[in-house]
A and B are shown apart, each in its own frame.
Chain A
């Protein structure tokens, strides 16, 4: 069974701070996706990373896929209250996905 771990589990920060959340596995994935889920909503796809070592930037969010395609990180610069939510990583191998437990982020104004 392929498992994904995420850390930290919970994170509460002040507006304007930077943060990094991590997604780790002992397994290799063909790609990895990051989602943000707000209360009462379904997860929204933020990014897909495919190539080992790949870095993608989405405004204040920077995503990195590990060289061995087993881990990933999400870095948020100058966090805003609108970044509050549950961040989920999901590793895929073909049509199959495994989701991490999520990092619940709270950005306080």
Chain B
């Protein structure tokens, strides 16, 4: 399994600002994902972070709102832009290993006031 860390672990932000979340993996991985988990809910996939190319976004999520970078095989960032209270969620990064098992980071708990 991979060891995944996220920064920050939590933050409280004001409406209209942006927050960048970092995800670091202890080994090189091909597939990295970003999920959102709203309070009391399951996980919703935001996008697949592709190394060296633009992220692949799921329906309902757009690059202007959630820009993603993937500069190498161990690191990715997700930015939540122009935040509103509806963006208050836990944001999780995950990786896929060679046997298609998915491992998650500890999450970033975001509160927008």
Chain A residues within 8 Å of B, Cβ to Cβ: 30-31, 33, 35, 40-45, 48, 88, 90, 92, 94-95, 97, 99-102
Interface residue stretch chosen among B14-22, B73-81, B94-102: B94-102
B41 and A101: CB pair below 8 A? Answer: yes
Q: Known: A42-B92, A100-B42. Contact between A48 and B105, CB under 8 A?
A: no
A55–B102 alpha-carbon span in the complex (Å): 20
Q: Is B63 an interface residue (CB 8 A)?
A: no
A-B contact count (CB 8 A): 45
A99–B44 alpha-carbon span in the complex (Å): 8
Q: List 7 A-B contacts (CB under 8 A).
A: A40-B109, A42-B94, A43-B92, A48-B99, A95-B31, A100-B42, A101-B41
Size of the B side of the interface (Cβ < 8 Å), in residues, is 20
Q: Is B106 an interface residue (CB 8 A)?
A: yes
Q: Inside 8 A of A101's CB, which chain B residues have their CB?
A: 41-42
B105 and A102: CB pair below 8 A? Answer: no
Partner pick for A33 among B92, B102, B107, CB 8 A cutoff: B102
Q: Is B28 an interface residue (CB 8 A)?
A: no
B101 and A33: CB pair below 8 A? Answer: yes
Partner pick for B101 among A41, A45, A88, A100, CB 8 A cutoff: A45
